[in-house]
Amino acid sequence: VLDGGSAVMLPGCANTTITSLSEGAHNISVYANNSAGSTGSASVGFTVDTLEPSLNLLSPTNSTYSTTSAPLDYTVSDQNLDSCWYVLDSASPVVLPGCANSTLSSLSNGQHNITVYANDSAGNTQQDSEYFTVDTSAPLVSINSPQNTLYPADSTDLNYTVSGTNL
């Protein structure tokens, strides 16, 4: 008897597969009787969870950061949420205790990729990724003209050079 419904005969007491189960909690009871009229039974509760967690990476975003740290902010939800972790630049996974937001620190200059993962107790996994850049180097500016001198005219050329990344 599944979820208090009608009894289903199991010929020869053979095992079977229960199909078309809906998402959520279920209860099944199995009854057996012998030719002497004795009856035995067992019941068990179980949950069907085929849905992946909902995960949305909010930060870092696809932009350039001027510091060596960046917030790791995301939202995650699932009725049976089990764990969360991230992988930065193909390094080893870093667990996020309690699926809490965190801060990425000691980031090197250059492009980075982060993937945040969440899984539930049924093993369903979801992920979200983002590329971002860290650039802590200020642009170098050099003025070639005018020079630090006296000019006999009311106009002069401005000639300068700028170098650096992400200009």
Nearest-5° angle of CA 107, CA 113, CA 119?
110
How far is 97 from 155, CA to CA, in rounded Å?
64
Give me the residues paired with residue 85 across strands.
Answer: 95, 117
E runs forming strands in the chain: 24-33, 39-48, 54-59, 64-65, 70-77, 81-88, 94-95, 102-104, 110-120, 125-134, 140-145, 159-163
Q: How far is CA 90 from CA 104, 112, 115, 116, in A?
A: 14, 10, 9, 12
**64: which 2 tokens?**
């350039």
State residue 38's pLDDT score.
93
Please count the residues of the chain.
Answer: 167
Write down the pLDDT at residue 167: 67
d(CA 88, CA 131): 10
The predicted pLDDT at position 30 comes to: 94
Cβ contacts of residue 122 below 8 Å, gap of 6+? 47, 49, 50, 80
Task: Give the pLDDT confidence score for residue 152 in this predicted structure.
Answer: 82
Which residues of the chain fall below pLDDT 50? none
